[in-house]
């Protein structure tokens, strides 16, 4: 793995960093107050539109469809920088990129031409990934949502949970059971469903602990009729697609966690360099110095794991194990970094006026979504055992 960035990758990282510092960070606390207060959603949608205009909604997408063609490494770098400014904006950016990649990988030419340019340009503020269900989270193969063929249409019934950006997504990639008699995980297909389709109902945003500015909604399908042309890829082959795309999504969430952890530690480092106790700066105390050293070492290791997974993906090599390793390590260590950074601020870290309280809430979910830490360990162990089978 070559860790030296190309000129294009460096430019993308620098652009993302500047945008995060100038546009996202000043409004992050306001957005954290919730989408139902004031003009928070307007700010978020403006941010997403600007990111699309900068090319951040199609970082690994072919230029023929309006993408940047920058690759997975650039995607990881960009998500990390965006997350330093606003985790809520970063998760929407990550998921929207993932949806565009699914369509590019599995969709036919008509589907690609119809939907990907709208995602990359920002015509669609976001795109939704509808996989998780109430009883099919860590076990998505157990989903109950069905798609029954009826002439030239499919009829969708069921519900999906915890769908990022659902209320302002332009299109959803939806997984549903098309052959209930098939072996578990074998009778699932993948569809494209536009927001506003009759029978598609987006529920109210969930009230969450963190990442509050990113709407998370239930999406229900009640006799939702879609044309047969909405099927992506082969019928009953959708679960394989979901598993492959989740691996790529884990690079995004690992990168997001890394950005939050770095933001927390950077703030704490500046704070202890200025704050005095016992007539000297807090940074003079060895206990705090060791916390800095350990947490920055953890985050650097997370960065390298993410870079490795992204490089493998970019080269077209197997990367599922490396993506799970990176996501597991980055999310767990970012959680520790945020808690240690809050501790370094003492009582001030617990007060809303300072960003550590928000960052600590924002980072918690990174070890849950896109596969919990426990699921990552299962994936890693499975891949390791395959190597000696």
User: Domains along the chain?
Assistant: 7-125 (1.10.540.10), 129-238 (2.40.110.10), 246-386 (1.20.140.10)
3-class SS shares of the chain: helix, strand, coil, % to 5 = 60, 15, 25
Asked if 306 and 254 touch (Cβ cutoff 8 Å), the reply is yes
- Could you identify the residue written with the tokens 């919990």? 372
* Per-residue confidence (pLDDT) for residue 37, from 0 to 100: 53
What is the signed CA dihedral for 268, 273, 276, 279, rounded to 10 degrees?
Answer: 150
Instruction: Reduce the DSSP state of residue 258 to 3 states and report it.
Output: helix
β-pairing verdict for 153-164 and 146-150? antiparallel
pTM (two decimals): 0.96
Tell me the pLDDT tens digit for each residue of 233-256: 999 999 888 888 889 999 999 999
- Closest by CA position to 165, among listed 41, 65, 318: 41
Instruction: Reduce the DSSP state of residue 171 to 3 states and report it.
Output: strand
To the query of whether residue 370 is one of the catalytic residues in this protein, the response is: yes
Tell me the pLDDT tens digit for each residue of 204-236: 999 999 999 999 999 999 999 999 999 999 999
Cβ-proximal residues to 36 (8 Å cutoff; 6+ apart), any chain:
205
For residue 128, give the H/E element and its range.
strand 126-130
Which residue is catalytic, options 153, 222, 370, 387?
Answer: 370
Range 216-238 burial, b when 16+ CB lie within 10 A, else e: bbbbbbeebebeeebbbbebbbb
Asked whether the predicted pLDDT for residue 339 surpasses 60, the reply is yes
**Residue 6 and residue 73: Cα distance in Å, rounded?**
10
Asked if 32 and 98 touch (Cβ cutoff 8 Å), the reply is no
Asked whether the predicted pLDDT for residue 36 surpasses 60, the reply is no
CB-CB neighbours of 183 under 10 Å = 8
Rounded to 5 degrees, φ, ψ at 13 are -60, -45
* Per-residue confidence (pLDDT) for residue 260, from 0 to 100: 98
Q: Please give the average per-residue pLDDT across 118-127, as a whole number.
A: 98
């Amino acid at each position: 793995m070559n860790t030296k960035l190309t000129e294009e990758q460096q430019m993308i990282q620098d652009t993302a960093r500047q945008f995060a510092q100038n546009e996202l960070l000043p409004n992050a606390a306001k957005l954290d107050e919730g989408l139902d207060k004031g003009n928070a959603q307007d700010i978020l949608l403006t941010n997403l539109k600007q990111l699309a205009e900068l090319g951040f909604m199609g970082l690994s997408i072919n230029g023929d469809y309006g993408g940047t063609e920058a690759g997975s490494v650039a995607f990881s770098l960009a998500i990390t920088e965006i997350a330093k400014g606003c985790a809520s904006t970063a998760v929407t950016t990550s998921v929207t990129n993932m949806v565009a990649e699914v369509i590019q990988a599995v969709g036919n030419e008509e589907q690609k031409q119809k939907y990907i340019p709208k995602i990359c340009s920002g015509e669609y503020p976001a795109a939704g990934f509808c996989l998780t269900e109430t009883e099919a989270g860590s076990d998505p193969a157990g989903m109950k949502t069905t798609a029954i063929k009826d002439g030239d249409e499919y009829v969708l019934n069921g519900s999906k949970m915890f769908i990022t950006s659902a209320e302002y997504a332009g299109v959803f990639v939806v997984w549903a059971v098309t052959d209930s008699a098939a072996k578990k995980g074998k009778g699932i297909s993948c569809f494209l469903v536009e927001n506003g389709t009759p029978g598609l109902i987006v529920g109210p945003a969930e009230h969450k602990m963190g990442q509050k500015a990113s709407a998370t909604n239930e999406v229900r399908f009640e006799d939702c009729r879609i044309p047969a042309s909405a099927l992506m890829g082969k019928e009953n082959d959708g679960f394989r697609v979901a598993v492959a795309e989740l691996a790529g999504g884990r690079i995004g969430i690992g990168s997001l966690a890394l950005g939050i952890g770095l933001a927390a530690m950077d703030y704490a480092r500046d704070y202890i360099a200025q704050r005095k106790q016992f007539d000297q700066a807090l940074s003079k105390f060895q206990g705090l110095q060791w916390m800095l050293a350990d947490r920055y070492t953890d985050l650097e290791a997370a960065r390298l794991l993410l870079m490795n997974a992204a490089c493998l993906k970019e080269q077209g090599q197997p990367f599922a194990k490396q993506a799970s390793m990176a996501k597991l390590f980055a999310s767990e260590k970012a959680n520790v970094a945020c808690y240690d950074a809050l501790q370094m601020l003492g009582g001030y870290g617990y007060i809303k006026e300072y960003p550590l309280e928000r960052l600590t809430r924002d980072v918690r979910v990174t070890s849950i979504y896109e596969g919990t830490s426990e699921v990552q360990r299962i994936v890693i162990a499975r891949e390791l055992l395959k190597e000696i089978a």
